[in-house]
Amino acid sequence: MSWTEIIDGTEIPGAAMDSPAVRALNELGFTIAAFDDDLFSYGKERRLAARSPHASRRRLNLVDVLAAEHGLGLEAALAAAVDLCDRLTLRFVQLRDRVLPTACAPLRRHLDHLSHLIRGNIEWGLRAGRYTNPDGRHPGAVTNTGSFTQTALRADAPPPLPSVAWWWDRF
């Protein structure tokens, strides 16, 4: 993403790029991609850990962190991770749609790139052998799935994470 201005041949004005809303959108985009990657890699990590005599007890995946922090079982931690990713994605869309109407052309392209980052990362993660063939010798050993829902998501209030709550500020 840091190369988009070079690739596009445009420069996003500093005042636009440094605005709180655009900073929030940038952080949201990269956080969503990172958390989605944690969901995609979770099956691979569990499979490899179960088969390794040297499995680390330190689990740094979003699912494991939520489980440890909130005392959740596997299913509840997975559901909490998916819910968090869904809420962040909805907030990204809401905030992006609020910023777009007054954004200059270079900023609109940047926000379009961020949107493609999120969507492309999901599409790639659902098909990547990196996640479905964890050791390079067992294609399809892990299955990743995605779904769409018509159920309204909660994005009216931030998740109980102080470090990201400001993404819900009214910009």
Domain count, the chain: 1
Average pLDDT of the residues of the chain? 88
What is the pLDDT confidence band of residue 118, given thresholds at 50, 70 and 90?
very high
Residue 13's domain comprises: 4-168
Measured between alpha carbons, how far is 4 from 63 in angstroms, rounded to an integer? 31
- pLDDT number for residue 139: 84
Q: What pTM did the predictor assign?
A: 0.88
Inter-residue contact 158 to 167 (CB < 8 Å)? yes
Backbone angle region of 79, left / alpha / beta, with phi > 0 → left and psi within -120 to 50 → alpha: alpha
What is the pLDDT confidence band of residue 137, given thresholds at 50, 70 and 90?
confident
- pLDDT number for residue 47: 82
The domain that holds 84 is classified in CATH as 1.10.600.10
The DSSP result for 91-150, as a single string, is: HHHHHHHHHGGG--HHHHHHHHHHHHHHHHHHHHHHH-HHHHSTTSS-TTSS--------
For 55-108, write each residue's pLDDT tens digit: 666 678 999 999 999 999 999 999 999 999 999 999 999 999 999 999 999 999
Sign of CA dihedral 96, 101, 105, 107: negative
